[in-house]
Amino acid sequence: MDWEQIEVKLDQLMAESRHGQLRGALMMLNPVDIAGYMKKLDKEKLLLLFRVLPKDVSADVFSYMDTEQRQTLVESIADAEISALIDEMFVDDAVDFLEELPANAVKRVLQNTDPKTRAIINQFLKYPENSAGSLMTIEYCEVTQEMSVKDALKSIKETGVDKETVYTLYMLDDQRRLIGAIPLHKALVVPEDTALSKLVDPGIISVNTMDDQEVVADTVRKYHLLSIPVVDGEGRMVGIITNDDIMDVIEEENTEDIEKMSGLAPAEEPYFKSKIITLAGNRLPWLMILMFTSIVSGAIIAKFENVLAVNILLSASIPMLMDTGGNCGQQASTLMIRGIALGEVQFKDVFRVLWTEFRVGLLIGLCLSLVTFVRLLLLNGASLIMAGVISFSLFATVVIAKSIGCILPLGAQRLKMDPALAASPLITTLVDAASLFIFFTVASKFVL
C-alpha cells in the first residue's frame, strides 16, 4: 500500500470516528510519517488525532511536528496534557520546542512541568543558541570503573528505555569526569564478568558546552561518531549530542551557507510560512549593496565610451566577458567554501591554492580564448587584431576570476567572517569590474 492509499484510509477512519482502528493504523506507522500526515489536518482533526495516540508515541510525533502545529497543540490541550507531553519527551527535544515558542507559551508549559524537569530545561535554556549545551541531552548511559559487563547490561535493561541512545557507554569517575567511551558491541562479544575498564577507549573525544554547533558537527563528522559527549568548563560530563541532532545542524548550516552564497539573509521560517515582507527583506540588502557597487562597472564603461563607438563587436562581447568571468569566479569560490567547511583548506594554504587556481585559470582561459578567437574570425568576420583583443581579454578575465574566487572566501575566514558571504554576488561584481577594465584598456591600445 502506497502513502496515498494510507492517507485515504486514515481520512476514512477519522471521518467515520472509528478511533480504535485509527489508533491501530497509526501505531503501524513511523512517528515521522504520522507527523507528516498531520500537516494536512485542520486544528480540530489535529487535536483529535494527537489525543488518539498513546502518550509515549504522541511525544515522539510531537518532536517531528513543525513549529506552527506544536504551538497550536499547546494552545489547545489542557495543562495536564502539556505536563505529560513534556515529561515523555527527551530533554533536548523539549528544549528545541520551547525555544521556538513565544514567551507566554513557554511560561505556561514550564508552569505545568515537573519541578525536576523544569529545573533541567531552565538550565538548558541558559546556554547560548546554537551552542553544544543547547543541543545536548542528559539521557545517556553512564558506567563506572568498578562495573563489569554484566552490571552494564543490567543497567541498560533497567534504564535504557529512557535513554536517547544505548549504543555507547560513557565511563565517569567519582567527580563525573569523563574517562572514556565503550561501544556497546564491545560489551556484547566478551564474557559478562569482564571488567568494563578493560574495554574503555581512553582516547577521549568531546566538546565543551559553549562550543558552536558547527564545531560539534565537524567533530562528529571527522571521527564518525554515533554520539559525542559534552563536558563543562571543569571537564565534567553533562550530556551527549546524538547524530540525529547533528544531521539537523548540518542541514541548517548548509541551508544558511547556500542562502548567503546567493546574497540572501538566512531565513527563520520555511518558504511557504514566511511573510512576503520577510522574503523581500531577506533579499533586499545585498541587492541594494550590489546595485551600488555596479556603479564601478558603469563608470568604467562611461570612461571608455569612445572605444565602444569604434566597433559594435566590442559592445557585443561585453556580456560574454562578464558572464564567463562571473561563472569562473563562482566555480572557484564554491570549491573553496566547501573545502573550508570540510576542513580541507585553511588560510595558511592561500598561496598554494592561489597557485593551483592560477594554473587552472591558464588552462581554462587558453581553451576558451582559442575557441573565441576562431569563432570571431569565422562567424563574425572580425579582424585579427579585434579577435585578438577580445580573446586576450577573455583569457585574462578567466585567470583573474579564478584568483579572486579562491582568495575571497579564505580572506573572509581569516577575518572570522562566514566564507559564504564572499560568494557569487560579491565575486561577480568584482570580476565584472576587473574584466571591463582589462577589456577596455587592451582595446584602447590596439583598436583606436
> What residues have CB less than 8 Å from 298, skipping those under 6 apart?
none
Q: Locate cell 543547547: which residue?
A: 134
CA distances to 205, 238, 348 from 144, rounded to whole Å, are 18, 15, 43
Cβ proximity of 329 and 261 under 8 Å: no
Q: What is the average pLDDT value for the chain, to the nearest integer? A: 83
pLDDT in tens, 316-359: 788 888 888 888 888 888 888 888 877 788 888 989 999 999 99
The CATH number, out of the four listed (3.40.50.300, 3.40.50.720, 1.25.60.10, 3.40.50.450), of the domain defined by the range 3-126? 1.25.60.10
Q: Give span(s): CATH 1.10.357.20, the chain.
A: 271-446
Rounded to an integer, the average pLDDT of 411-440 is 78
Q: Give span(s): CATH 1.25.60.10, the chain.
A: 3-126
Architecture of domain 271-446: Orthogonal Bundle (1.10)
Work out the number of other CB atoms within 10 angstroms of the CB of residue 205: 15
pLDDT in tens, 134-184: 889 888 999 999 999 999 999 999 888 888 888 999 999 988 899 999 999
* Cα–Cα nearest to 43, from 81, 5, 76: 76
**Residue 283: pLDDT above 70?**
no
pLDDT in tens, 176-235: 899 999 999 999 999 999 999 899 887 889 999 999 988 898 888 888 888 999 998 888
Cβ proximity of 38 and 69 under 8 Å: yes
Measure the CA–CA gap between 407 and 193, rounded to whole angstroms: 59
pLDDT in tens, 68-95: 888 888 788 777 777 777 777 877 787 8
Cβ proximity of 148 and 200 under 8 Å: no
Q: Identify the CATH class of 141-242.
A: alpha beta
Take residue 216 and report the three cell numbers written for it. Answer: 560539534
Q: Give the DSSP H or E segment for 343.
A: none
Q: Which residues in 385-420 are b (16+ Cβ under 10 Å) and which e? A: ebbbbbbbbbbbbbbbbbbbbbbbbbebbeeeebbb
Strands 207-208 and 227-231: parallel
pTM of the model: 0.65
Cβ proximity of 421 and 412 under 8 Å: yes
Strands 207-208 and 178-183: unpaired
Q: Give span(s): CATH 3.10.580.10, the chain.
A: 141-242
DSSP designation for 267: P
DSSP H helices, 379-417, are 384-414
